[in-house]
Amino acid sequence: MEAIVKRLVDDVKDDLVFPKVALKAMKMIDDESTTAYDLADIIAYDPYLASSLLRIANSPFYGFSRKVENLYEAISLLGFEEVRKNIVTFTMKSMFRKADAYDRYIWEHSLGVAVSAPMFKDCVVCDLPLSTLYLMGLLHDMGKIVLKKLDYNGYMQILRKCYADNVWCAELEKETFGFTHADVGGALLEFWGLPREIVDVVVFHHGGSENEAVKLVRCCDALVNALGIGRPSPLGDVEGVVEMWDCKKISEKSSVEEKIKERVRAIEGAL
């Protein structure tokens, strides 16, 4: 199966390109000696990332009291963690073109899991930065975009069925292709050179292996589905998530739902 998945990724790698500048910036953020000037110099090479970062720094989402004039100021005010989150969110936004209702569902669902993972961090034992948890959530279903690119009609059928019958897409994918969006998503992220801990969460979010970060994303995935965020109707119920995950915060269903929806709306509005 591994060879098939690698070949499939080979077929889409020219369509789904993770910008070199974004990758370089992410590596620089992990390096403690990097300064805001260094990061600004690199991001300036990518006009889309640079203008998007300036726009969001000036948006009501951050609400800075003065106009942010340049990339250096934006990076200094936002901090490296927010810059990391934003550059990947901009990149993903351009890949999830939101051409049809399913793209919109997948995008909203991914944002829902992205904002939930840092929110419920205390329910697992995990010392990864909040921005990494956000990225794990944002990228966990990237494989669905890959499958849609590879076999548009075939995958649309699966998506239609999974939303109409309210079942997990991974089950239908496994029956149809013999692999899932988790497999192809993980392979693409690995090809891009994203950090191992993010790749592993993407590969294992529907099973196979578990560490605390995988557990966090898997449970947030189930929660966001149970709340009906990013899908036409809820999949499962919150009580079921509470049963599988001993996390007190999620039993406060209505406040949790409102918080997640509010954060998704705020990010969408700022992009």
Q: CA angle, 221 as apex, 186 and 215 as ends, to 5°? A: 75
The least distance separating Fe ion from the CB of residue 43, rounded to whole angstroms, comes to 29
Task: Pick the closer one to Fe ion by CB: 108 or 141.
Answer: 141
Separation of first and last alpha carbons in the chain? 37
Task: Pick the closer one to Fe ion by CB: 75 or 201.
Answer: 201
Q: Give yes or no for residue 141 binding Fe ion (CB under 5 A).
A: yes
What distance in Å separates the CA atoms of residue 92 and residue 95, rounded to the nearest whole number? 5
Residues in contact with Fe ion, counted by CB under 5 A, come to a total of 2
Q: Give yes or no for residue 82 binding Fe ion (CB under 5 A).
A: no
Q: Which stretch in 149-157, 195-203, 218-226, 246-254 sits in contact with Fe ion by CB under 5 A?
A: 218-226
DSSP 15-26: TSPPPHHHHHHH
Task: Pick the closer one to Fe ion by CB: 141 or 183.
Answer: 141
Task: Pick the closer one to Fe ion by CB: 46 or 108.
Answer: 108
The least distance separating Fe ion from the CB of residue 91, rounded to whole angstroms, comes to 18
Q: Give the SS3 label for residue 195.
A: coil
Q: Give yes or no for residue 221 binding Fe ion (CB under 5 A).
A: yes
Task: Pick the closer one to Fe ion by CB: 183 or 221.
Answer: 221
Q: Which stretch in 47-55, 207-215, 216-224, 243-251 sits in contact with Fe ion by CB under 5 A?
A: 216-224
Distance of CA 95 to the CA centre of its chain: 12
Work out whether the CA dihedral 191, 208, 131, 102 comes out positive or negative: positive
Q: Which of 21, 29, 89 is nearest to 56 (CA)?
A: 89
| DSSP single-letter state for residue 231 | S
Residues that bind Fe ion (CB under 5 A): 141, 221
